[in-house]
């Protein structure tokens, strides 16, 4: 298959088919050879040519000019330092893409917010085996970014490379992370990274930053944060958010690890072409993983030497790749892709965390569907119960109303009965009182009548 190279650069600094950055090394010079038979060595004085410095020669051919332009680069000035933004060190930012259309808005949101000077960052994309509109959407977002009204937004050189590798593994979570597909998938991913790097790396790049398109959350200062450690290769910790019913969060990238005796013994039992992959029951390595050593309150600058490196976010000095390091597209010490790359020299930051996008697995989706069915059933049950309670309440309300009426009538009747009884009692009491008074008067009369009689007897 043929690889096509789309090249974009800011106006005014493009020569031939190769673009040059706005900011060049201070001691960088240009020379021309009028005769194509003149060797590059003769284009420079003897002392400069034999000074022992690393140099890179790029020939530019012009259709309308028979002269060939030779540019000289002193690679001793692009070694990479801890404060590269102050020394105007250029970064090559590499992003492999496959069926990534849906992630473009998120990725370019990160690009717009990087605090490292944008004009010192060159972007390189490899679009491979895509069935969606990844390429078209990528170009659209790049045009918007490069034509942004804010002069600090546009990036430096931009390269888009198309190359298919015959990747048959689907991009869904279950296929990408299934154990059976890991070995072949990672070898093809390594090929893609090597193609992208070899096509995009320029002599003036001091750093190479690999970034996955589906990083959801990361500090805008990540380039400076990683660069400050001044390591050949450095990676952050990578986690992912989860729904609350799955625990809220989870370690994502298990490819950053320290070697273990168990894993070494396991490697000795495997075929030469076998690839050990982490996080699968088939290969119990018992390696200490960078991800599991995370402390949310730990020192983000704490370093940990690791033997395997995950590919989600890698910052490496360009001289590492110029020295011959690459991503093994074959089983290298029973590893491939970025993990084999990590067999060189790598540092990880266990407490400096970035967050990968959560993509539900088939089991997650099935569980979510079951939860949704349970939720709907519960809502239906609650609705039915509420309706039953309302009917019962309405029925009781009617009964209570009638009962109140009956109660009121009964209270009225009882009140009237009590009134009548009281009146009857009062009348009865009144009659008794009159009779009592009459009896008293009669007794008084009898007593008064008897009194003279008693008096007469007394006189007698």
pLDDT given for residue 37 in this prediction: 40
Contact 11, 41 (CB under 8 A): no
- CA gap 397, 409 in Å, rounded: 18
pLDDT given for residue 179 in this prediction: 43
- CA gap 111, 126 in Å, rounded: 17
Record the tokens describing residue 308, joined without a space.
């395997």
Helices (H) and strands (E) in the chain, counts: 10, 16
What does each C-alpha distance from 286 to 13, 278, 292, 333 come to in angstroms? 52, 9, 12, 17
pLDDT given for residue 266 in this prediction: 75
User: Which residues 6+ apart lie within 8 Å of 163 measured at CB?
Assistant: 1, 3, 126, 127, 128, 192, 195
Three-state secondary-structure class, residue 140: helix
283 torsion bin: left (phi>0), alpha (psi -120 to 50), beta (else): beta
What does each C-alpha distance from 249 to 173, 291, 369 come to in angstroms? 17, 12, 20
Q: Which long-range contacts does 358-364 make (Cβ < 8 Å, 24+ apart)?
A: 358/216, 358/240, 358/241, 358/242, 358/243, 359/173, 359/214, 360/173, 361/173, 361/174, 361/177, 362/173, 362/174, 364/246
Picking from 60, 62, 68, 64, the residue whose alpha carbon sits closest to that of residue 19 is: 60
What does each C-alpha distance from 342 to 210, 273, 345, 422, 437 come to in angstroms? 14, 18, 6, 108, 127
Residue listed under structure tokens 């284009």: 43
Picking from 96, 373, 84, 129, the residue whose alpha carbon sits closest to that of residue 230 is: 84
pLDDT given for residue 229 in this prediction: 96
Neighbours of 108 (CB within 10 A): 17
pLDDT given for residue 38 in this prediction: 43
Q: Considering Cα of 291, then 293, then 294, then 300, what sign does the dihedral take?
A: negative
- CA gap 195, 189 in Å, rounded: 10
248 torsion bin: left (phi>0), alpha (psi -120 to 50), beta (else): left
Pairing of strands 346-356, 233-241: parallel
Residue-wise pLDDT for 159-215, tens only, equals 999 999 887 655 444 444 444 455 667 788 889 999 999 999 999 999 999 999 999
- DSSP structure string for 141-163: HHHHHHT-SSTTS--S-EEEEE-
pLDDT given for residue 350 in this prediction: 97
Residue 384 parent element (H or E): helix 362-459
Residue 343 parent element (H or E): none
Residue 356 parent element (H or E): strand 346-356
Contact 361, 246 (CB under 8 A): no
Residue-wise pLDDT for 322-349, tens only, equals 988 888 765 555 444 454 454 556 899 9
pLDDT given for residue 330 in this prediction: 52
- DSSP structure string for 190-228: HHHHHHHHHHH--TTEEEEEEE-TTEEE--TTHHHHHHT
Contact 349, 305 (CB under 8 A): no
- CA gap 349, 228 in Å, rounded: 12
- pLDDT one digit per residue (tens) for the chain, 460 residues: 334 444 454 433 333 333 333 333 333 333 333 344 444 444 445 454 445 444 455 554 455 555 567 888 888 889 999 999 999 999 999 999 999 999 999 999 999 999 999 999 999 999 999 999 999 999 999 999 999 999 999 999 999 999 998 876 554 444 444 444 556 677 888 899 999 999 999 999 999 999 999 999 999 999 999 999 999 999 999 999 998 888 899 999 888 988 777 767 776 766 666 666 655 555 667 688 899 999 999 999 999 999 888 899 999 999 999 988 888 765 555 444 454 454 556 899 999 999 999 988 777 778 888 888 888 999 999 998 888 888 887 776 665 667 777 778 888 888 888 888 787 777 777 666 666 666 666 666 666 666 555 555 455 4
416 torsion bin: left (phi>0), alpha (psi -120 to 50), beta (else): alpha
pLDDT given for residue 255 in this prediction: 87
DSSP structural state of residue 308:
B
């Amino acid at each position: 298959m043929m690889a096509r190279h789309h090249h974009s650069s800011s106006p005014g600094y493009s020569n031939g088919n190769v673009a040059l950055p706005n900011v060049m090394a201070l001691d960088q010079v240009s020379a021309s050879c009028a005769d194509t038979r003149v060797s590059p060595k003769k284009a420079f004085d003897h002392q400069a040519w034999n000074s022992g410095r690393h140099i890179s020669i790029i020939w530019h051919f012009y259709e309308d000019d028979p002269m060939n332009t030779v540019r000289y680069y002193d690679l001793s000035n692009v070694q990479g330092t801890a404060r590269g933004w102050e020394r105007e060190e250029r970064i090559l930012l590499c992003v492999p893409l496959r069926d990534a259309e849906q992630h473009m808005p998120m990725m370019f949101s990160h690009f717009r917010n990087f605090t490292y000077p944008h004009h010192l960052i060159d972007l390189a994309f490899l679009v491979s085996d895509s069935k969606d509109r990844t390429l078209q959407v990528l170009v659209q977002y790049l045009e918007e970014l490069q034509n942004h009204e804010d002069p600090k937004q546009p990036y430096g050189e931009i390269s888009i490379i198309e190359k298919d590798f015959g990747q048959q593994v689907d991009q869904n979570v279950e296929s990408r992370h299934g154990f059976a597909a890991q070995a072949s998938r990672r070898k093809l991913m390594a090929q893609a990274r090597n193609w992208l790097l070899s096509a995009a790396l320029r002599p003036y790049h001091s750093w190479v930053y690999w970034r996955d398109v589906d990083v959801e959350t990361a500090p805008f200062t990540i380039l400076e944060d990683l660069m400050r450690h001044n390591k050949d290769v450095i990676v952050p910790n990578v986690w992912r958010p989860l729904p609350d019913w799955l625990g809220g969060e989870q370690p994502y990238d298990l490819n950053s690890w320290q070697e273990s005796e168990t894993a070494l013994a396991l490697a000795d039992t495997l075929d030469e072409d076998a690839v050990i992959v982490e996080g699968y029951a088939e290969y119990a390595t018992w390696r200490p993983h960078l991800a599991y050593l995370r402390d949310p309150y730990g020192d983000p600058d704490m370093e940990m030497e690791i033997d395997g490196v995950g590919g989600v976010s890698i910052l490496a000095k360009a001289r590492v790749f110029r020295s011959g390091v690459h991503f093994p597209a074959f089983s290298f010490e029973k590893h491939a892709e970025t993990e084999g790359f990590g067999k060189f020299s790598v540092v990880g930051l266990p407490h400096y965390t970035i967050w990968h996008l959560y993509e539900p697995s088939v089991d997650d989706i099935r569980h979510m569907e079951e939860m949704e069915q349970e939720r709907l059933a519960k809502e239906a049950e609650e609705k039915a119960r509420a309706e039953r309670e309302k009917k019962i309440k309405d029925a009781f309300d009617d009964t209570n109303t009638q009962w109140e009426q009956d109660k009121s009538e009964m209270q009225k009747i009882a009140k009237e009965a009590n009134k009548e009884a009281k009146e009857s009692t009062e009348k009865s009491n009144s009659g008794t009182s009159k009779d009592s008074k009459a009896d008293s008067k009669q007794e008084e009369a009898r007593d008064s009548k008897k009194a003279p009689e008693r008096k007469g007897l007394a006189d007698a």
